[in-house]
Chains A and B, each alone.
Chain A
Amino acid sequence: MRRQIPLIITFIVGSVLIISVFIPHKPFGQLGENFSVYFDIIAVFAFILGAGNLLRVHGNRIYKKHKDWPYSMVTVAGFTVMMIAGLFKIGGSPGITGDLTEPGSMFEELYMYVFTPLMATMFALLAFFVASASHRAFRAKNKEATVLLLAAFVILLGRTPFGVKLTSWLPDPLSFLEIPNLASWVMSVPNMAGQRAIMVGIALGVIAMALRVILGVERTYLGADSE
């Protein structure tokens, strides 16, 4: 019974939501949107579970002085400071009744001068990792890898004015060989064709996966073996 009830709920809700796409009449027309909102509400309450888990796991590591426990200290400290600053609206002009993001408030200052630069820094790591990944991955080991390598060259150079200058001397009849034009062609023809093919495959995969879940054939996500 413990496993049957979730399966029944999944089947009913899944089927109704699929049918509601085609039925605009109330209440079906709004069901998809309403369920999205219900999920968002549940996710917000579930956050309490997440926060509790975070504090429990890291608190335990600090208490038992596990290996690398100072990092857990940093996690708990960061969590606590932001939570207190946000909950009590410290530093904002009307105090606790004011807006969370009141200019000059502690939350807003931490967001602007700590959180934002940290996020930008993490994103900036991509530039370095792209270089090291390219150095390692773009090797002409076989025909396909060679094509990938050539495409990478064209796109990398085509996205810069250097690429424009490199082939700007080509006569008009051969202008299609200019790097920016080649880069544009690579992005809009083979890249787009590949992306679309992958998207069609993904859409079909989603349909099959969703049907397996709705029909109860796939139950691993419930913590149960499949039928």
Chain B
Amino acid sequence: MKAFSYSFIFYCLLGLILLATTDGLAQVESSDSLLSPLLPPSEVIAEDHPGDAGGAIIVRWDLSPDEDRGITGYEIVRSASPTAEFSSVGFAATGSNRYVDANTEDSLTYYYKVVAIDADRNASESEISPPVRSSPQWFDFHLLNLLIIGGLICGAVIYFIAHAKKGKKLFLRRIAGLEAVDEAIGRATEMGRPILFIPGILDMDDVQTIAGITILGRVAKTIAQYDTKLNVPTSRSIVMSTAMETVKEAYISAGRADAYSDDFVHYVTDEQFGYVAAVNGIMVRERPATCFYIGAFFAESLIMAETGNAIGAIQIAGTAMPAQLPFFVAACDYTLIGEELFAASAYLSGEPKQLGSLKGQDVGKIIAMSAIVIGALLETFFAISGSSFFGSLAELVHKLFSIVAS
């Protein structure tokens, strides 16, 4: 009995001791887990940002293994010396492993660290990166493919311009709008009504406006010969000055300097809808027999074209704004679509050198069409067969014609 009771007490005590230590261990374990540090990002590499004018460094790192344990982001810190204090230069969101420090000085050496931060503001720093300096580059290699393809197209254009005088007659497809120019001017002359020319609403820094002014020059020469009244309201002051000079020279070269008046070309307003209101008013009051809309247009295109239609004018439009082309096609008699606008001055001049440039353009089209067909076929074969060979080739074609951000 006594032995049983001693044994019983012993085992009870043992059980109590075991219980207490297990609890304690558990508490120790959980507090250990509370104290377990956030794992830092690793493999921090800092390098000069390529293809720039200096002043930028890219910092890359491997993500912290604790990404899914509540990390809210990474703070990037830098210093001019590994032993000096590091100061913050920016933050990257969780999941991102790249940061561009765009505030560096090229003459200084920098050291970087990446600090993982969680919601409780616990931080864990990486190792210090090797030293790095930013520097400017003389060539942006990300644009190499652009240089090659651009060079091919520009080279073709220049080649055909240079060789245009060899006398070979070029085939040019009919552009109805350009063939109708003389007829349209003749109609206005017969009816004794003026011709309205709108060179678009953008400024001279837009190539469509330049195209519009060059066509104005050619059209003005014919108008001068026919002795018809011309009205050119402009939306920009520089366009007004350029158009005035162009029209004046056209009249002089047609031998009709006496017929020219500075009032042919006049400024209206820069404001889009104020301009179209003025143009509509001119149309309704002066009732031009022919309206040319050649240049860059926005929403006002349909308003002008419909008003022109209402007054019974013959309308020839040309723009490289894809959104406005449908309105002109619906409302005008003739429309120069996109590239036809830029080809128009070459067409109207008939000069071999200008026409040669159109042939050079065709080389560009061949490159574009070939790339589209080849790329589409490769993607299709890849989708059907799943073969990585087609996939890699498709990716190559895609990269050849992409501009990757530097």
Contacts and interface: CB of A to CB of B under 8 A. Distances in A.
Q: Do chains A and B touch in the complex (CB under 8 A)?
A: yes
A86 interface: no
Interface stretch (B32-40, B361-369, B384-392): B361-369
B205 A221 contact: no
Contacts of B303: 122, 125-126, 129
B241 A46 contact: yes
B343 interface: yes
A24 B137 contact: yes
Given A122-B273, A202-B339, A220-B246, A24 B157 contact: no
A207 B309 contact: no
Given A137-B330, A204-B153, A71 B281 contact: yes
B273 A50 contact: no
Q: Counting chain B CB atoms within 10 Å of each CB, which of A21, A75, A221 scores highest? A: A221
Interface residues of B, number: 87
B138 interface: yes
Given A54-B267, A205-B338, A209-B211, A129 B306 contact: yes
A211 B331 contact: no
A8 interface: no
A227 B352 CA distance: 10
Given A24-B137, A43-B238, A220-B214, A209 B207 contact: yes
A205 B343 contact: yes
A23 B51 CA distance: 8
A106 interface: no
Contact of A221 (B214, B302, B361, B368): B214
B341 interface: yes
B263 A57 contact: yes
Interface in A25-78: 25-26, 29-30, 36, 39, 42-43, 46-51, 53-54, 57, 60, 67-68, 71, 75
11 contacts: A23-B140, A25-B138, A26-B136, A54-B267, A57-B266, A75-B278, A118-B277, A133-B306, A136-B309, A207-B364, A209-B345
The 6 closest A-B pairs by CB, nearest first: A50-B237, A205-B339, A205-B342, A223-B249, A220-B217, A122-B273
Interface of A: 21-26, 29-30, 36, 39, 42-43, 46-51, 53-54, 57, 60, 67-68, 71, 75, 118-119, 122-123, 125-126, 129-130, 132-134, 136-138, 195, 198-202, 204-213, 215, 217-218, 220-227
